[in-house]
């Protein structure tokens, strides 16, 4: 059986602290705020072995998704205006909806899957997701794919 690498997008809140600290240590090194791995790991209170174990396995989800297609899944209340508000935020963000699919609402909620094109002049995907999560009637937003 061939080994296949799989990638996941995971909310930061679900990650163990060590992963978040490894990403931060890499950022500190990259920006020159610290000069050595030893400095970074001491500052962040993680072991050097943890840093080296995970450094090549974790990267932050960055907003380099400009000019990219992002597919997101949303769970919304089945009430008038909720989907309209969601679409208005995407329009305000200057992102382009490529596809949208809504399931038949069950128990007062509907699942929406949409692909949006994030252009140079658009908000970052993080800003878009954060704005969508704040809307009344939106229960969940998750990124399914990014191209």
Report domain extents, the chain. Answer: 14-54, 68-146
Q: What is the pLDDT along the chain (147 residues), one digit of tens a residue?
A: 555 657 777 888 898 999 999 989 988 888 888 899 999 999 999 999 999 999 888 877 655 444 688 899 999 999 999 999 999 999 999 999 999 999 999 999 999 999 999 888 888 888 898 899 999 999 999 888 877
Domain 68-146 grouped into CATH 3.10.20.600: no
What are the distances in angstroms from CA 102 to CA 5, 99, 111?
A: 31, 10, 6
Task: Tell me the pTM.
Answer: 0.57
Q: Supply 127's token pair.
A: 């800003």
Cα angle, residue 118 at apex, residues 134 and 138 outer, rounded to 5°: 20
């Amino acid at each position: 059986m061939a080994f296949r690498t799989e990638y996941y997008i995971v909310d930061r809140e679900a990650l163990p602290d060590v992963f978040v600290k490894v990403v931060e240590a890499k950022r500190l090194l990259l920006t020159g705020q610290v000069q050595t791995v030893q400095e970074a790991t001491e500052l962040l209170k993680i072991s050097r072995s943890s840093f080296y174990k995970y450094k090549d396995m974790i990267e932050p989800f960055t907003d380099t998704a400009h000019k990219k297609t992002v597919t997101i899944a949303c769970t919304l209340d089945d009430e008038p205006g909720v989907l309209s508000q969601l679409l208005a935020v995407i329009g305000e963000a200057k992102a382009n909806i490529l596809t949208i699919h809504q399931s038949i609402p069950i128990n007062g909620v509907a699942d929406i899957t949409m692909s949006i094109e994030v252009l140079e002049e658009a908000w970052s995907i993080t800003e878009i997701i954060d704005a969508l999560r704040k809307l009344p009637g939106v229960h969940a937003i998750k990124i399914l794919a990014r191209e």
